[in-house]
């Protein structure tokens, strides 16, 4: 189930990139994904565990921060990065979050992490240097895209810290549902629905890359981002937590950047240079080491 969920997230990155190339902005796509995820999760919880959605006043500051930084921030910055970076690289940089969480645990919580943290940081820094082609002047990847992906990793680290610490009396799925609700309210004011390009939803758009001859309605692709890229993988991930330890699930979720890269190669024809592939391998190794130091909640 974890492999299927993370593969769907990788596929979601490719579908999202196609949607972005056809005139939908990162903000508009983030808004659709958040509202769709909130509606789906809220419907299930209201039918099965309505009490988990009750919020007391003292919980709101943390829930609002989770919604705005850990959910709106992660998804918006990821899509901004995705516009100019290869899918696999965008996801891989986002997954630097466990390294940042390990640093947080060491600097602020006083947790002993030993040499493993420095090994993880060293591998990540060297890997990123190879991916952005530092030795040749940094021309390998778009600087703005890399900056957005790094900020996304910071927001994702915040998400991990908040969801790991948890909010009393509430399961993680309810906490995230409320966070999506906070994000949905934010988008009502930041990008009102009446300004959304509804008239473009029936437009048949090319699937690009090796599937350029195929066309689907733009609205259907956005629905795939909401359902196949959010609700289905999240349901699979929550179900897997009943059979596997959370740490194992989190570790297995690092398949997402690999899956995203492979699907982007097959579908869009995206490929990486030898140095970028070597850098991606080093970054992934650093992430796996960091995952061993701290747990983490895979994102939704």
Q: What is the enclosing helix (H) or strand (E) of 217?
A: strand 215-217
Residue 65 is predicted with a pLDDT of 93
Residue 136 is predicted with a pLDDT of 52
How confident is residue 3, by pLDDT bands cut at 50, 70 and 90?
confident
Decide if pLDDT at 298 tops 60: no
Q: Can you tell me the distance from the alpha carbon of 54 to that of 170, in angstroms, rounded to the nearest whole number?
A: 9
The conformational region for residue 104 under phi > 0 = left, psi -120 to 50 = alpha, else beta, is alpha
At which residue do the structure tokens 């958040």 appear? 34
Task: For 241-265, write each residue's pLDDT tens digit.
Answer: 566 555 566 666 777 888 888 899 9
Residue 21 is predicted with a pLDDT of 95
Decide if pLDDT at 285 tops 80: yes
Task: For 29-49, write each residue's pLDDT tens digit.
Answer: 999 999 999 999 999 999 999
Residue 115 is predicted with a pLDDT of 77
Higher-confidence residue of 289 and 9: namely 9
How confident is residue 24, by pLDDT bands cut at 50, 70 and 90?
very high
Residue 81 is predicted with a pLDDT of 95
Residue 294 is predicted with a pLDDT of 56
DSSP state, 294? S
Supply the mean pLDDT for the chain.
85
Task: For 110-130, write each residue's pLDDT tens digit.
Answer: 777 677 778 888 888 888 878
Residue 133 is predicted with a pLDDT of 64
Per-residue b/e over 135-157, b at no fewer than 16 CB within 10 Å?
A: eeeeebbeeebbebbbbbbbbbb
Residue 175 is predicted with a pLDDT of 86
Residue 250 is predicted with a pLDDT of 61
Work out whether the CA dihedral 138, 96, 153, 35 comes out positive or negative.
positive
Task: For 133-151, write each residue's pLDDT tens digit.
Answer: 655 554 567 889 999 999 9
**What is this structure's pTM?**
0.86
Residue 174 is predicted with a pLDDT of 87
DSSP state, 206? E
Decide if pLDDT at 11 tops 90: yes
Higher-confidence residue of 273 and 253: namely 273
Residue 118 is predicted with a pLDDT of 80
How confident is residue 169, by pLDDT bands cut at 50, 70 and 90?
low
Q: Region 76-95: what's the mean pLDDT?
A: 91
């Amino acid at each position: 189930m974890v492999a299927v969920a993370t593969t769907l997230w990788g596929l979601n990155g490719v579908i999202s990139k196609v949607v972005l190339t056809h005139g939908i902005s990162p903000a508009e796509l983030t808004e659709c994904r958040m509202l769709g995820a909130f509606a789906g999760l809220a419907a299930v919880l209201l039918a099965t565990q309505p009490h988990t959605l009750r919020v007391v006043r003292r919980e709101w500051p943390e829930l609002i921060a989770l919604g705005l930084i850990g959910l709106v921030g992660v998804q918006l910055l990821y899509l901004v990065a995705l516009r100019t970076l290869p899918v696999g690289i965008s996801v891989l940089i986002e997954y630097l979050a466990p390294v940042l969480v390990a640093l947080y645990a060491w600097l602020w919580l006083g947790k002993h992490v030993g040499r493993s943290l420095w090994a993880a940081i060293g591998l990540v820094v060297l890997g990123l240097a190879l991916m952005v082609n530092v030795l040749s002047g940094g021309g390998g990847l778009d600087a703005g895209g890399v900056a957005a992906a790094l900020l996304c990793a910071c927001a994702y680290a915040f998400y991990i810290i908040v969801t790991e610490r948890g909010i009393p009396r509430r399961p993680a799925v309810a906490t995230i549902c409320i966070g999506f609700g906070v994000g949905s309210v934010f988008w009502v004011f930041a990008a009102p629905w009446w300004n959304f390009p509804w008239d473009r939803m029936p437009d048949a758009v090319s699937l690009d890359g090796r599937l350029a001859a195929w066309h689907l309605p733009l609205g259907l692709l956005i629905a795939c981002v909401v359902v196949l890229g959010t609700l289905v993988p999240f349901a699979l991930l929550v179900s897997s937590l009943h059979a596997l330890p959370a740490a194992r699930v989190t570790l297995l979720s690092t398949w997402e950047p690999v899956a995203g890269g492979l699907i982007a190669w097959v579908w869009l024809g995206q490929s990486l240079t030898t140095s970028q592939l070597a850098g991606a391998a080093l970054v992934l190794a650093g992430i796996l080491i960091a995952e061993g130091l701290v747990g983490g909640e895979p994102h939704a």
